Amino acid sequence: MNNLYPIKTKVSAAQRHQLLNQRPLLIWFTGLSGSGKSTLAVQLEAELHALGFKTYLLDGDNIRTGLNKDLTFTDEGRIENIRRIGEVSKLMLDAGIIVLSAFISPFEADRQQVKNIVGADNYLEVYVNTPIEICEQRDVKGLYKKARAGEVKNFTGIDSPYEEPRHPDVTILTHTMSVEESVRELMKVVGPVVKLKI
Ligand SMILES: Nc1ncnc2c1ncn2[C@@H]1O[C@H](COP(=O)(O)OS(=O)(=O)O)[C@@H](OP(=O)(O)O)[C@H]1O
Ligand SMILES: Nc1ncnc2c1ncn2[C@@H]1O[C@H](COP(=O)(O)OP(=O)(O)O)[C@@H](O)[C@H]1O
């Protein structure tokens, strides 16, 4: 750090967390486009919120249209996208929030970097493992069709790589499970970590 002197606040992270009465956590969803990241993150957030947890969902639409609107889908663009999201997540965790992040995040090194940024204890990786054939059949946004036609370049799984997570905390097979079953699986893992208030 060059000539930078971060201020020392009077309120500590622990005090903020105590006031909110929860343990912050980053729930990091990774998977192909159309795998089910947003669907699961939206539903899981709704369930946590209904139980009284303070949450925030970060996904492509609220980040790539705002903070990261200068970034493309080249490898470099994706690397910087994930780095910034890791830093934003860190700030939100410091504030005491349970953060749900839904980004393709195709590179293992970048996911590891996020884990390092926020601290391993605060990071829970969810691999939304849906075969590309199923994602392509779903084609929720019509992007696979465009990518096959060459109208969208550097599309993940077609002409841009997706590296499978090596050690995900949870793997969800959306092609064999309903959304409800998948969220129940997630709650089983997330619940004990954030210490459900029941
Ligand atoms: N070339 C290319 N490859 C992949 N995805 C593309 C591309 N162009 C646009 N989109 C749309 O952008 C969403 C993925 O953005 P992410 O920020 O999650 O991508 S990444 O993590 O930086 O790889 C992705 O959203 P999801 O379908 O929710 O994954 C697409 O809607
Ligand atoms: N078990 C499941 N979990 C998540 N999505 C599922 C599941 N089964 C079917 N789907 C469907 O798959 C699609 C996933 O789209 P979306 O959540 O936008 O994916 P992504 O955010 O990864 O691009 C949705 O239409 C959703 O209804």
ipTM attached to this prediction: 0.99
How far does residue 34's CA lie from ligand 2's centre (Å)? 6
How far does residue 96's CA lie from ligand 1's centre (Å)? 28
Q: For a ligand 2 pocket test, name from 43, 105, 133, 140 the mutation site with the most ligand atoms within 8 angstroms of its C-beta.
A: 140
The whole-model pTM stands at 0.97
SS (H, E, C) the chain: CCCCCCCCCCCCHHHHHHHHCCCCEEEEEECCCCCCHHHHHHHHHHHHHHCCCCEEEEEHHHHHCCCCCCCCCCHHHHHHHHHHHHHHHHHHHHHCCEEEEECCCCCHHHHHHHHHHHCHHHEEEEEECCCHHHHHHHCCCCHHHHHHCCCCCCCECCCECCCCCCCCCEEECCCCCCHHHHHHHHHHHHHHHHCCCC
pLDDT single digits (tens) 108-155: 999 999 999 999 999 999 999 999 999 999 999 999 999 999 999 999
